[in-house]
């Protein structure tokens, strides 16, 4: 069996953001210009701040993102828009570019208001040179 001798172990980081998960809002238009809604930028900042509080350097290699959204209500929220907000918030923070994300596992679970949260685990994937 071949091994990657001397290769560093995969790096993993986990963050938890308390509160009802937010979806990525659609861009708004005013005066002929597009802008991101304040609710979206505020939610992205909360996730970014949670990442920064870990004190981790950005991932160098490909990344697997595992995210669980514990929703306070059964109000309709699309899973892809929930994931989009997390990825956009972590872009250029947890990884240099979102093209480093090569796998996403996502789920939403209906909980209650006191336990609503977003749990994100990032794992660095170090592939064989011929698998890149």
Residue 91 DSSP label? B
CB within 8 Å of 124: residues ≥ 6 apart: 10, 11, 12, 59, 60, 61, 62, 63, 64
Question: What pLDDT score was predicted for residue 30?
Answer: 78
- What is the per-residue pLDDT for 127? 67
pLDDT digits (tens, 9 = 90+) for 8-57: 667 999 999 999 999 998 777 778 888 778 999 999 999 999 999 999 99
> 57-116, pLDDT tens digit by residue?
999 989 999 999 999 999 889 999 999 999 999 999 999 999 999 999 999 999 999 999
- Output the pTM of the full model: 0.86
pLDDT at 2 over 60: no
3-state SS assignment for residue 5: coil
**All residues at 6 or more sequence positions from 74 whose CB lies less than 8 Å from its CB, including other chains:** 110
CATH class of 12-131: alpha beta
CB 46 within 8 A of CB 27: no
Q: Is the separation of the CB atoms in 103 and 65 below 8 Å?
A: yes
């Amino acid at each position: 069996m071949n091994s990657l001798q001397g290769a560093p172990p995969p790096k993993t980081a986990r963050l938890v953001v308390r509160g009802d998960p937010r979806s990525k809002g659609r861009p708004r238009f005013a005066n002929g210009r597009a802008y991101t809604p304040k609710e979206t930028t505020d939610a992205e900042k909360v996730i970014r701040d949670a990442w920064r509080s870990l004190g981790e350097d950005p991932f160098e290699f490909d990344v697997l993102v595992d995210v669980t959204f514990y929703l306070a209500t059964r109000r309709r929220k699309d899973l892809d828009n929930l994931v989009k907000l997390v990825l956009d918030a972590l872009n250029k923070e947890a990884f240099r570019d979102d093209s480093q994300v090569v796998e996403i596992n996502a789920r939403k679970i209906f909980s209650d208001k006191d336990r609503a949260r977003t749990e994100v685990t990032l794992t660095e994937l170090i592939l064989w040179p011929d698998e890149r």
